[in-house]
Amino acid sequence: MKQLKIENNKGQFYREGEGWLGVDKMTKEDLYNLVNSALENEDFEIDEFDENDLQNPAHRTIYSHLSRQLSDIHSRQSEYNDEIVSLYKEAYDKYCKD
């Protein structure tokens, strides 16, 4: 599902229950939800950044950083998941044995 897009020369993100909002309206909770979506969803999708598509300098800066970081997180999804498993493997093995 698309989480970040460029439409009508504005950067927008998707907020559950409210729809598409400008990236300048993003809260810490919204950012947290975007990162979780990038880590957990195989169908995570964002529009590629092109500075010519964004007229507002604030939207251009925010969208540029967001798209770069979220793309990196999504592309390293399996690496993060493997690291989480290895971090908790010892505790899991200790407490989940029959």
Calculate the CA 53 to chain-centre distance: 20
Segment (H or E) for 92: helix 77-95
Segment (H or E) for 45: strand 45-46
Taking only the tens place, the pLDDT of each residue in 49-90 is: 988 899 999 999 999 999 999 999 999 988 888 888 888 887
The predicted pLDDT at position 51 comes to: 86
The predicted pLDDT at position 96 comes to: 76
Taking only the tens place, the pLDDT of each residue in 10-21 is: 999 999 999 999
